[in-house]
Structure 1
Amino acid sequence: MSVLVPATTAVMESFLEAMDEFVAEGVSDSQTAGWVDTYGDTWRTSEGFEAFVRQVRAEEVDETVLPERWVLTSTRWWVDGDCYLGRVAVRHRLNDFLRDVGGHIGYDVRPSARRQGHATAMLRAVLPHARSLGIDSALVTCDADNAASIRVIEACGGILEDRRGDKLRYWVPTG
């Protein structure tokens, strides 16, 4: 059974396999792509992966560890036992960039686990956490040509507000 958990070293092997899948696919413009760029050279050792997990967890509570222009972000991994399936991130507030493009919530599912309902389940599962942060309705965006993500957002109650450039902007109730 798949569940959301904070970043953990327990899934290191499958996490790294998933990152290899994302790299092979050409991941870009996401939290995952940023992880690959920043940690890809160091996370293949136990010490490097532990440091990466500590950083991801610290980004939820410590503004001093955030990259420039980032906001506090709760990242949860979608796992089944020791198998990493994807990640979902809840940004605690919106800045100008997130208001236009990124939204409160971003997610991705490893390529080999797609089309199995994981994205919808992940988004549904994280909405109570967003609510606990004071987010009554979460902004969730996706590329206008991403039919799968549109289905996920709408299945979770998302209401389309508008399109800005290539991005569709939906509001998803958290309660």
Structure 2
Amino acid sequence: MPMDIELVPPTLALRDEVADCFADFAGTAVDGSGITDPSRTPRTDDELSEFIARRLAEEDPSTELADGWVHCTSRWIREPGTGQVLGFLAVRHQLTPFLLEVGGHIGYSVRPGARRRGVATAALAQGLEIAAALGIDPVLVTCDTDNTASRRTIEGAGGSLEDIRDGKRRYWIGDGERPVRR
């Protein structure tokens, strides 16, 4: 059963909660967060402010992005009541060749201390709602071939396995026309 969660835009008001969440990952991959190097998470208020500003700017379609980047809706997964940040979700508005191969439209991660409680299931369901509101259909979601929990989450959300590429299982959710490789 999915856990009750809320998705909130990145905000400096949750600096302590997000710092605690990053610490729980202990330098491992933080998919869906916008962190490209998990050993270098934002630590100071200035670093976190800059990180948040970049995440929010990526959401705005008028923002010019560097080559290889796409507009993206970033959300922090939060537990109502406690306010604890449980993880991260990113809904990418388009697919680059790299995202089509291995990254997908939706990326997410749940902090180790909150896994196996239905957080990913609830976050993916809400991420699919965001994608639908953006007109994305079908949605590509990927996971590592050895990530059984994520595989089950994606399949439970209706994901249909297309194939496995570069160690990633590639699933499509939705009935729209799938993009083709170039």
1:19 Cα deviation from its structure 2 partner: 0.8
Is the contact made by 2:131 and 2:139 (CA closer than 8 Å) also made in structure 1?
A: yes
Corresponding position: 1:172 with 2:173? yes
Structure 2 partner of 1:73: 72
What one-letter code is carried by the residue in structure 2 that aligns with 1:3?
Answer: E
Any conservation in 2 of the 1:128–1:174 contact (CA below 8 Å)? no
Structure 2: how far apart are the matches of 1:148 and 1:122?
14
Is the 8 Å Cα contact of residues 143 and 166 (structure 1) preserved in structure 2?
Answer: yes
Residue of structure 1 in register with 2:36 after alignment:
34
3-state SS in 2 of match to 1:59: helix
| Residue 7 (structure 1) aligned to one of 5, 10, 13 | 10
For the residues of structure 2 that align with 1:174 and 1:13, how far apart are their CA atoms? 41
- Counterpart code for 2:51: F
In structure 2, C-alpha distance between the alignment counterparts of 1:111 and 1:67, rounded to whole Å: 31
- Normalising to structure 2: TM-score of the pair? 0.83
Comparing 4-13 with 92-101, which one deviates more in the overlay? 4-13
The alpha carbon displacement at 1:29 in A equals: 7.7
Kept in 2: contact 1:127–1:174 (CA 8 A): no
Report the secondary structure of 1:34's partner residue: coil
User: Displacement of 1:57 after TM fit?
Assistant: 0.7
Q: Which residue number corresponds to residue 160 of structure 1?
A: 161
1:16 aligned to 19, 23, 27, which one? 19
Tell me if structure 2 keeps the 8 A contact 1:138–1:174. Answer: no
Rounded to whole Å, the distance in 2 between the matches of 1:140 and 1:107 is 10
1:151 alignment partner in structure 2: 152
- 2:89 corresponds in structure 1 to 88
Tell me how far apart the structure 1 counterparts of residues 119 and 149 of structure 2 sit (CA, whole Å).
Answer: 11
User: Offset of 1:154 from its aligned partner?
Assistant: 0.6
- State whether residues 106 and 140 of structure 2, in contact with CA within 8 Å, keep that contact through their aligned partners in structure 1: yes
TM-aligned CA deviation for residue 53 of structure 1:
1.3
Q: Distance in 1 between matches of 2:23 and 2:36?
A: 14
Unpaired segments of 5 or more residues in structure 2?
Answer: 177-182
Q: Does 1:110 align with 2:107?
A: no
Q: Distance in 2 between matches of 1:49 and 1:145?
A: 32
Contact 1:130 1:174 in 2 (8 A): no
Identity fraction in percent: 44
Moved over 6 A (4+): none
Cα-Cα RMSD: 2.2
Aligned residues: 169
Counterpart of 1:54? 53
Decide which moves more: 113-122 or 157-166: 157-166
**Aligned partners of 1:137 and 1:172 also within 8 Å:** yes
Name whichever structure is richer in helix by fraction. 1
Cα separation, 2, equivalents of 1:11 and 1:80 = 12
